[in-house]
Structure 1
């Protein structure tokens, strides 16, 4: 699933829910007055890497990334700071896979040298501010902005083997910033909130090979996550 498809799904779901709000009855009229409430979310994501290359002994370096869709699931704790401002903690699990293609090694005698399959599972812990408009009937648009911590269970950072042994390593502890938009829809029993957000790494996530002239890691100056998350929250 491409990033364009994720945006299309978000706006399609939002449009359907919007047209379903023609009912004049106002559901959950006191919901947003609670100082603290909880929920959970389910979603899909597409994560890849932002790559910046540098001058190195590998003069013909050519590296690309292929990403596939993954899933995310987690919990929500929402603290009301103001009628239009909430602070949210949203710990969850994120799973996805990526394929790194080292095109300059495609003519290698060992075809596996040019490909690294990266399957990752993260503990994703965002702390975000939610800026909401005033409620209109049974809907309320909002913006999201904040930072998150990611623990990469599949990093292999402590592995003594590196790419010379077929092992691509990444850092275990990473930090992101994220921004997004969404809409709260007040239903009879609960609040449904589809949102879409971008997630971007602050730090370089690559663990360099022991050889400073490694054909895999020497050309890489920065490799950091960038992704799109489509979440469906139930509160």
Structure 2
């Protein structure tokens, strides 16, 4: 009678860990809202009492460039196009509410350090931290139109914090992650 023995799991893409650099595709869903800064005009305005931004979903598509610095540290750049919807609620003095939403298209360039754990066969955990700069193609901060109460600056910057996992498959590596961007 033959004894049962555990089958050893085969390590997929073992050469990936020693590559000096690699490229990939980044797809994702995002949720965003504006961080408001009121102008002096807002305080003196006799019509609008309050402006409240809302969280709305969006989508991003980008390219990942990864440079290996050591066995446990990489530096990554992820230039992406971000499509998102912004929603605002204006509360007026006449006890009325106006809900508005508009689409925004951004080019985002996050650069971050990726700190990796030891690889466990076909799995690894990582955390990442870095900075980013965004350019909003729909910015209107220079607009002189009096009907535009909300002015959006074209450039924005902030920092990212995230955590994720690497799953090694025979033909590709899947890296899901959660990331929070602060501005």
Q: Tell me, in whole angstroms, the C-alpha distance in 2 between the residues paired with 1:172 and 1:52.
A: 15
Do structure 1's residue 144 and structure 2's residue 131 form an aligned pair?
Answer: no
Superposed displacement of residue 106, structure 1:
5.9
2:13 corresponds to which residue?
Answer: 28
Q: Which has the higher strand share?
A: 2
Q: Of the two structures, which has the highest relative contact order with CA contacts closer than 8 Å and spacing of 6 or more?
A: 1
Three-state SS of the structure 2 residue aligned to 1:31 is helix
Do structure 1's residue 197 and structure 2's residue 179 form an aligned pair?
Answer: yes
Q: Tell me, in whole angstroms, the C-alpha distance in 2 between the residues paired with 1:48 and 1:23.
A: 48
Superposed displacement of residue 167, structure 1:
5.7
How many correspondences in the alignment? 174
Superposed displacement of residue 89, structure 1:
0.5
Superposed displacement of residue 181, structure 1:
0.4
Superposed displacement of residue 63, structure 1:
2.1
Q: Deviations over 1:20-51 (max 9, x none)?
A: xx970100011011111111111111101234
TM-score normalised by the chain length of structure 1: 0.67
Superposed displacement of residue 104, structure 1:
3.2
Three-state SS of the structure 1 residue aligned to 2:119 is coil
Q: Tell me, in whole angstroms, the C-alpha distance in 2 between the residues paired with 1:64 and 1:27.
A: 49
Do structure 1's residue 49 and structure 2's residue 34 form an aligned pair?
Answer: yes
TM-score normalised by the chain length of structure 2: 0.85
Look at both structures and tell me which one has the larger radius of gyration over its CA atoms.
2
Q: Deviations over 1:101-123 (max 9, x none)?
A: 12135636xx7xx3442321100
- RMSD of aligned residue pairs (Cα, Å): 2.4
The equivalent position to 1:175 in structure 2, one of 146, 157, 169, is 157
Do structure 1's residue 39 and structure 2's residue 27 form an aligned pair?
Answer: no
Q: Which has the higher helix share?
A: 1
